Amino acid sequence: MSPPFHRLQSSLEKIFRTDIPHRRFNRFYSSSSSIRTPLRIDYVEFLLEQMRLCVARKDFIRQSILSKKISVRFFDDKSDEVQELKLKYCDLMIKLGLNDSAYLDVYRLYRNIFDTPRIQADAARSIQVLKCMALYVLLAPHTNEQSDLLHRVYEMRQLQLVPDYNVLLNLFVEEEIIFWKDKVVAQFEELLRRGTKTSPPTDVFDITESGNKRWSDLQSRVAEHNIRMIAKYYTQISFDRMAELLDYPVDEMENFLCNMIVTGAIPHARIHRPSRIVSLRARKATVEQLDQWANSVRKLTGILNKVSHLILKEQIVHRHLDNATAASSL
């Protein structure tokens, strides 16, 4: 570490420890904006130190601004020193992502960590990173991208080394309803929150305020998955039946369903409170309704033509029989 950088870092730490007013910290923060030279290791170390101080102050907005000053292409260098900086950068960005509950961004950062040669060389550490990848991709709200990444993680051969996590991901890959208490809580709560002898826990669902929040978010992801599965097989469903399938009280189920409708997760759902019925049938466009009406009219006229033809045929047959009977009687 170069002497000028060391002095600047020491000054930053002194300012932080003595809690000098915020404007002094702002002055040091703005000093990085004047650096226009190409990215060097000392410069990146300086920015990472500023980001660390921002995390310590819980100043995540300034940390986000500082992170944009570091080009991720800098970490393409495979030297040990640069790769160590990459791990520090990812760790700081993970804290930023967790503060914003940006779980998909956190997954991508853990993926970058997993692909680092130093992590690949450490079997135990790579397994822990892989567990975090699996959990954070589950915590992300359902989108096409999230679904694609979930299937990619599920198909990773390294996931076979942690079979319990493989089974957990399989619950979300299969198009079946997941019962929260019977499947997730009963089988996975101890594993995910406290760990077992063979599988140490991650800090994703630790017994803290943030860990409890992520555990609640996992329950929301399970309910979100279940509603999408219900929408595949039901066109209408009662409040009580949906609450039973989601393992929610009716009031909580209704609030959760309203949030999913507003966010566009199930845009076609409609709630009819007087009858306590949820309609999951997609509303057709005007053109589709006209096409359906035209097809129905065409089908109806075809049936009428066929019926009239059969009636006429029967009349002709009976008339012929009546004529034959009259002729034989003569």
pLDDT, one tens digit per residue, over 40-88 is 788 889 899 999 999 999 999 999 999 998 888 888 888 888 889 999 9
User: 214, 278, 270: which is closest to 246 by C-alpha?
Assistant: 278
Look at residue 305 and tell me if it is in a domain: no
Same domain, residue pair 169 and 261? no
Same domain, residue pair 135 and 208? yes
Q: Which residue has the tokens 């199930």?
A: 266
- Enter the pTM of the model: 0.74
User: Where in the sequence is the domain holding 240, given as residue range(s)?
Assistant: 234-298
Task: Tell me how many helices (H) and strands (E) the chain has.
Answer: 15, 3
Look at residue 217 and tell me if it is in a domain: yes
Count of domains in the chain?
3
State the Cα angle at 268 between 264 and 271, rounded to 5°: 100
Residue 20 scores a pLDDT above 60:
no
Sort 306 into a burial class: Cβ within 10 Å, 0-12 / 13-18 / 19+: exposed
pLDDT, one tens digit per residue, over 235-286 is 888 989 988 888 888 888 888 888 888 877 777 788 888 888 888 876 667 7
Look at residue 262 and tell me if it is in a domain: yes
Residue 16, number of CB atoms within 10 A of its CB? 17
Could you tell me the two tokens for 34? Answer: 């004047």
> 205 vs 21, which has greater pLDDT?
205
pLDDT for position 8? 52
Same domain, residue pair 151 and 219? yes
Query: What CATH code is carried by the domain that includes residue 253?
Result: 1.10.10.10
